[in-house]
Structure 1
Amino acid sequence: MTVGSGPPDADLVADVRRRLADEGGPVTVERVAAALRATGRVLGRTALAELEASVHAEIRGAGPLQPLLDDPDVTDVLVNGPRDVWVEHAGRLVRTDVDLGDAGRVRDLAVRLATAGGQRLDDARPAVDARLPDGTRLHAVLPPVADGCTLLSLRVVRHRPFALADLVRSGTVAPGVDELLRGLVRGRANLLVSGATGTGKTTLLSTLLSLADPGERIVCVEEAGELAPQHPHVVRLLARRANVEGAGAVELADLVREALRMRPDRVVLGECRGAEVREVLSALNTGHDGGCTTVHANAVADVPARLTALGALAGLSRDAVAAQAASAFHAVLHLRRDGGRRRVAEVGVVDRLDGAGGLHVRTGLVVAADGRVGAGPGWPALARRAGLTGDRAPTGPG
């Protein structure tokens, strides 16, 4: 994969940055172009346009990595060294020929991106997890914690909306399973979307929320504005990390409580991975139907253990988590990634063992890699919740 020819001259970037600082005000593409022309560089129109974009990326964006982040088929950019840059392109890791210069420039880029995300990255704090202004997730580690060179991991947030029919055509949702999903949303079921990192949990959740009644008010609580439902009444509450002084943090748990005071028809937590599980379980047990959240898990059967672990972070006992989760969530939608393709692999029903024991998820549907669908013991309960008539489960293609 060929992208760019390396970063622009460091002295030129420093000159442009100094001119912008002297003028003050927001750094825009137009101001970068004007400052670049003011340096007296004599270039042709095409070369000047390319240099303007490169300098702007060096000052405001991710430098030579910016074209990679702008590629709609790229989901992750991984930097292992100055000339060891990889991307996940269309579901596969591909090495690029991007040249970041030397280890010093990689470190400078990481520090600048961390600062843009409101975080500190230096020898005293050699690892950072941040969100860039455009929503891109940044993780960076400096040497000597990182062996040899600063390591960068950038995950791109795409706001491209998908209709449920699009997910069926792409193979993410098997034929017939889409009707079950429509019924669950129409029936205001509380949904838990599970899966590993990068399996498409946010994409699926955005698509399902787009099916909600246009007259409903959806309140989304997120770390960054990743959910993109095509719905006329969506409001967002975004968490805020502490600044470099360690002050000003606004946690997800606080925002879930705020959301309940905003007359929501559906409360949605973009990702549940900490003590905020207590607030989510409380909300979905107090009459707030139609709520949704996502959680990291390996399979439907592993969801109870994951919820129990999160509940422990919030001071909830195993029995308390089981009692609340069994009545809070009506269905678990599990996504898996096979060979770069993301798909709904299982749909389960949450309940308690023998009505009183630990938490359990009964399998309702299992979807094979070829799209064939098999019913499990939880199918009748799923069908009733989705308002589907008859006991016949979807079978997929064939």
Structure 2
Amino acid sequence: MTPQSDLSGLVEEVRTRLTRTPGELSPHRVADALRAAGRPVGDATVLAVYEALRRDVIGAGPLEPLLALPGVTDVLVNGPGPVRIDRGAGVEETDVVLSSEEACRRLAQRLVASGGRRLDDAAPWADVRLPDGTRCHALLAPLAQPGTAISLRVPRRGGLDLTALHAAGTLSDAGLELVRRLVEARLAFLVTGGTGGGKTTLLSALLGAVDPRERIVVVEDAAELRPAHPQVVGLEARPANLEGAGAVVLRDLVRQALRMRPDRLVVGEVRDAAVVDLLAAMNTGHEGGCGTLHANSAGDVPARVEALALGAGLGREAAHSQLAAGLDAVLHVRRDRTTGRRRLGEIAVLARGADGLARTELAVAFDASGTATRGPGAQRLLQLLDGGGA
């Protein structure tokens, strides 16, 4: 067996020779390149070099085995060195190693190219969806230190339903009952939390619990939601091409979705001016609208929505008025620092303060053990669930 260091040297030498002449990658061409370099041409060596090169030009290259591991949600490259993964219990190192900055840069450029974008010194970052649905973000060095950074968000195969989230500890007994009733009551809600907190997973499971006779239209920047539901139409934004034309933004797609007879309008991640159209939809008879939003707590939602709406030209008073009138509940997810477990932390309801501004009231909080504690908004939540919130 060729030592790993010797194999890396052979791979780079063969790669250099193969790039000088066009042709498909094959064991025969690899053997010819090894002979030309005066290297050993045994079957084991040829196949080892060929497989290393093949992995480097197909799929996610050396990251492919990591993407296939059960439970992996993220694969992370922080420049040369060990590649890291997240399987739900925090970031951990793997045995996969990228040997140089050149290897990191080459891998990042190939991944981004497979998603239809370019990555070079003139365009040093990109966010694309790969053909298998994996979301890829890449940022070249020297903007990223200690080297080119690649972040892969792995789509969950098959998704999880509410029962599975309950079994995994994301939802307690009381939490499972409340979110099921929330979906059945067609309340408008947002799922909030931090990056990697499980917002998309919970929202996808909630959509899977929607009545199969209802039509769900999902609008996303990058397709991540995969609810187990028979009537889902997905709309995905599109970046500009190399000439800077052809971009389709989230806000345009929200407007199109409103013309597609949605029973449920879903914005996968509310993070720009699309919030204005989502609020408008929630206030014009489109019940059960929902989405996800980055926020540190349910109490921060009004301020986050206000900031996004102001950026779209909607005044403060109008933004709060539409938020209070259109949004019913906020489901906030947390990720435990010690165990890495994602769980529903609190459910809040919207209320209007004496100043006319929207605010959230805690309805129920769940601790790490799943124990539920009622808050001042509990009665309001029960009224909404019973259909008396109008």
Bucket of the pairwise TM-score, normalised by the shorter protein? 0.7 to 0.9
Is 1:118–1:244's contact at 8 Å kept on the other side of the alignment? no
How many percent identity over aligned positions? 48
Is 1:180–1:388's contact at 8 Å kept on the other side of the alignment? no
Q: Distance in 2 between matches of 1:361 and 1:84?
A: 43
- 1:374 maps onto 2:373 in alignment: yes
Q: C-alpha deviations, 1:184-211, integer Å up to 9, x for none?
A: 1111111111010111111111111111
Write the mapping of 1:303-318 to structure 2, written as runs, cut at 5 A: 303-318=301-316
Q: Distance in 2 between matches of 1:225 and 1:148?
A: 30
Q: CA deviation at 1:222?
A: 1.1
Secondary structure of 2:64's counterpart equals helix
Structure 2 spans left out of the alignment, 5+ residues: 32-40
> Which of 164, 178, 181 lines up with 1:180 in the alignment?
178
Secondary structure of 2:111's counterpart equals helix
Q: Distance in 2 between matches of 1:286 and 1:138?
A: 36
> Which of 307, 318, 321 lines up with 1:320 in the alignment?
318
1:351 aligned partner: 351
2:295 aligned partner: 297
1:242 aligned partner: 240
Give, as a single letter, the amino acid of the residue that structure 1 aligns with 2:346. Answer: E
Q: Distance in 2 between matches of 1:148 and 1:40?
A: 33
Write the mapping of 1:59-208 to structure 2, written as runs, cut at 5 A: 59-208=57-206
2:269 aligned partner: 271
TM-score (norm 1): 0.86
TM-score (norm 2): 0.87
Q: Distance in 1 between matches of 2:214 and 2:221?
A: 23
Secondary structure of 2:23's counterpart equals helix
Q: Distance in 1 between matches of 2:42 and 2:178?
A: 60
2:29 aligned partner: 39
Mean alpha-carbon deviation: is it higher for 90-99 or for 285-294?
Answer: 90-99
Mean alpha-carbon deviation: is it higher for 5-14 or for 255-264?
Answer: 5-14
Q: Distance in 1 between matches of 2:327 and 2:315?
A: 18
Secondary structure of 2:265's counterpart equals strand
Q: CA deviation at 1:241?
A: 0.9
Q: Distance in 1 between matches of 2:115 and 2:287?
A: 35
Give, as a single letter, the amino acid of the residue that structure 1 aligns with 2:381. Answer: L
Q: CA deviation at 1:9?
A: 2.0
Is 1:268–1:291's contact at 8 Å kept on the other side of the alignment? yes
1:19 aligned partner: 23
Q: Distance in 2 between matches of 1:79 and 1:373?
A: 39
Q: Distance in 2 between matches of 1:288 and 1:57?
A: 48
Give, as a single letter, the amino acid of the residue that structure 1 aligns with 2:262. Answer: P
2:362 aligned partner: 363
Mean alpha-carbon deviation: is it higher for 92-101 or for 301-310?
Answer: 92-101
Is 1:114–1:121's contact at 8 Å kept on the other side of the alignment? yes
Give, as a single letter, the amino acid of the residue that structure 1 aligns with 2:148. Answer: T
> Which of 332, 336, 341 lines up with 2:334 in the alignment?
336
Q: Distance in 1 between matches of 2:15 and 2:166?
A: 47
2:35 aligned partner: none
2:260 aligned partner: 262
Is 2:11–2:52's contact at 8 Å kept on the other side of the alignment? no
Mean alpha-carbon deviation: is it higher for 198-207 or for 128-137?
Answer: 128-137
Q: Distance in 1 between matches of 2:334 and 2:280?
A: 28
Q: Distance in 1 between matches of 2:103 and 2:115?
A: 18
Secondary structure of 1:221's counterpart equals strand
Secondary structure of 2:213's counterpart equals coil
- The 3 A distance-change label for structure 1 pair 342 and 51 is farther
Q: Distance in 2 between matches of 1:323 and 1:217?
A: 28
- 1:9 maps onto 2:11 in alignment: yes
Give, as a single letter, the amino acid of the residue that structure 2 aligns with 1:387. Answer: D
Is 2:30–2:50's contact at 8 Å kept on the other side of the alignment? no
- The 3 A distance-change label for structure 1 pair 10 and 247 is farther
1:385 aligned partner: 384
1:253 aligned partner: 251
Give, as a single letter, the amino acid of the residue that structure 1 aligns with 2:308. Answer: L
Q: CA deviation at 1:130?
A: 2.7
Secondary structure of 1:235's counterpart equals strand
Q: Distance in 2 between matches of 1:360 and 1:102?
A: 51
Give, as a single letter, the amino acid of the residue that structure 2 aligns with 1:340. Answer: G
Q: CA deviation at 1:270?
A: 0.6
Q: Distance in 2 between matches of 1:292 and 1:174?
A: 22
Secondary structure of 2:26's counterpart equals helix
Give, as a single letter, the amino acid of the residue that structure 2 aligns with 1:341. Answer: R
Is 2:30–2:49's contact at 8 Å kept on the other side of the alignment? no
Secondary structure of 1:19's counterpart equals coil
Q: Distance in 2 between matches of 1:245 and 1:10?
A: 34
- The 3 A distance-change label for structure 1 pair 350 and 85 is same
Q: Distance in 2 between matches of 1:238 and 1:57?
A: 29
Is 1:117–1:132's contact at 8 Å kept on the other side of the alignment? yes
Q: CA deviation at 1:51?
A: 6.9
Structure 1 spans left out of the alignment, 5+ residues: 21-34, 390-398
Q: Distance in 2 between matches of 1:238 and 1:18?
A: 36
- The 3 A distance-change label for structure 1 pair 36 and 292 is same
Is 2:14–2:30's contact at 8 Å kept on the other side of the alignment? no
Secondary structure of 2:346's counterpart equals strand
- The 3 A distance-change label for structure 1 pair 13 and 381 is farther
Mean alpha-carbon deviation: is it higher for 158-167 or for 183-192?
Answer: 158-167
Give, as a single letter, the amino acid of the residue that structure 2 aligns with 1:363. Answer: L
Is 1:13–1:59's contact at 8 Å kept on the other side of the alignment? no
